[in-house]
Amino acid sequence: MKPKGKRGQTLIYGLMAGLIAAFIVSFFSNAIAKKDFGEIGDSSLKLIDASKEAEKSLFYLDQSAKYSAYQTAYDLAQKGGFFKESECGDYFGFTLWQTLDENKKLKQCFPAQEEISGNFKSIFNANLNNYVQIFNQNSDAKIPLDNYNQIKLANKLDITGLANENIIIEIGKPGGQIIQSPSELQDSEGIFKSDLEVKDLDKVRLGYDLKKFIEEVSQKAGVDSATALALIGRESSFTHCCIQPDNNRPGTCRKSDVTSCGLRELYTSGSSYGITQINLKHCAWFNPDLCSENKKPSDLPLKSSSLGCFSGYYNSKDSSDGGWGQECRTFKEAGCAPGQSAKDMECNIKLGITFLKSLYNTYGNNDALYERTVKNYCTEPTQQKRYLDYKEWDRVKRAYNGFGCAGPGADTQYVEKINNEKSTYLT
């Protein structure tokens, strides 16, 4: 047999290579068509998703730390630099730095610089925990609580937190739920949570069921829901009850999942309580049984510790029913469920939003009354002019927070803050 030349050998090798390539292409094409790959590539996708979850967690933690620092600075200022009560006590929620002791001598209780630094760390951790708890309920990643006890205050602006434990992210499903075939794979839309944006943080903290409830109550009362949400968010960060009794103030409250509690657990700024921060002067709202026909304002002492509210508010009214009837009418209008009061979250929300509407009816278009009220409570010329320039619902926001414009408790930018935060709740 005559040997083949080089050209013939090259042709045979080329044909063989072509056949092998065709076989490989055919094999993989059939495998794809039949979905025979099983778990190939699935683990890599899970690693990518875990990496995204980690980035999201760190981003959320960074933003939460920033907002917690802002809140802590505010809380610390509100509490006069203390984490717990000052030895000098407080006056309607405002910490006293000096008072008279039992011998009528001046007693001073100024916090030391080291104490302020330590108190900042304690309050900061409590504030951060509030964000972390809500994040853990809405994410596959788990950020440990009380994880940043080692906080370094490098200067007036820089805060460095050293984590005690790592963030935990589960990769894939538990063993009993492992996908056996690609046919069981679902579209990722709706399964993996979208990356958080800064504007989404309040929504994560709020929870959509509560948001929907507030929107429904607002719509029924004729109140803009975005305004109601922004106001409630600023008043209480959507907190109603705290876990530990007497640790129910900003900086000490650890949010509880329960929706009804006593005054010792109700979130408070000092004299206002619950998710909408209703003032204790609205005594009947905390004790609706006082609205029974056989009760009169004159039946109550000026301050009733047994009731846990200030009943003298009603005796100061000059209307025929002493203001008591109006309080009870407002409570009835709010439509709280039988047996509920301002100590119950749903009732507290209904009362707060109904009160907003009543403030609109009082001040919204009554220029003379609004001007008279502002001038009575705010005498500082610049702030008084700012208050007097408000119209309609801006007047309502001002009235809800109070007309005062001096002293440590006055938030003169309250209306502007609410208006800026409304956009967070428009979608």
Domain boundaries, the chain: 51-167, 201-359
Structure tokens at 322: 């002493």
Q: Burial code of 302-327, b = ≥16 C-beta within 10 A, e = fewer?
A: eeeeebbbbbebbeeeeeeebbbbeb
Q: What is the pLDDT along the chain (427 residues), one digit of tens a residue?
A: 445 455 555 555 555 655 555 555 555 555 545 444 445 566 667 777 767 777 777 777 778 777 777 777 777 776 677 656 667 776 655 677 777 777 777 878 777 766 677 777 777 777 777 787 777 777 666 777 766 655 655 555 556 666 666 666 666 554 434 334 444 333 333 323 333 333 344 444 445 588 889 999 999 999 999 999 999 988 998 999 999 888 888 888 888 888 999 888 999 987 789 999 998 878 788 888 777 655 555 555 444 444 455 444 443 333 444 455 677 888 889 999 988 999 999 999 999 999 999 999 999 999 999 999 999 989 889 999 999 999 999 999 999 988 988 776 678 889 999 998 888 777 6
Give the type of residue at 266: L
Which residue is listed with tokens 């989404």?
Answer: 200
Structure tokens at 401: 């927070």
Per-residue pLDDT at 92 = 57
Structure tokens at 404: 């005062």
Measured between alpha carbons, how far is residue 283 from residues 290, 296, 344, 376 in Å? 8, 12, 14, 24
Half-sphere exposure of 202 (CA within 13 A, CB side): 19
CA distance 221 to 219: 5
Sign of the Cα pseudo-torsion (398, 402, 405, 410, in order): negative
Helix axes 225-236, 392-401, angle to 10 degrees: 20
Residues of the chain above pLDDT 70, percent:
61
List, in sequence order, the alpha helices (H) in 335-423.
345-363, 367-377, 381-388, 392-401, 414-421
CA distance 83 to 291: 38
List, in sequence order, the alpha helices (H) in 240-391.
283-286, 312-315, 324-334, 345-363, 367-377, 381-388
- Phi then psi for residue 314, to 5 deg, are -75, -35
Question: Percentage helix, strand, coil, to 5, in the chain?
Answer: 50, 10, 40
List, in sequence order, the alpha helices (H) in 244-294.
283-286
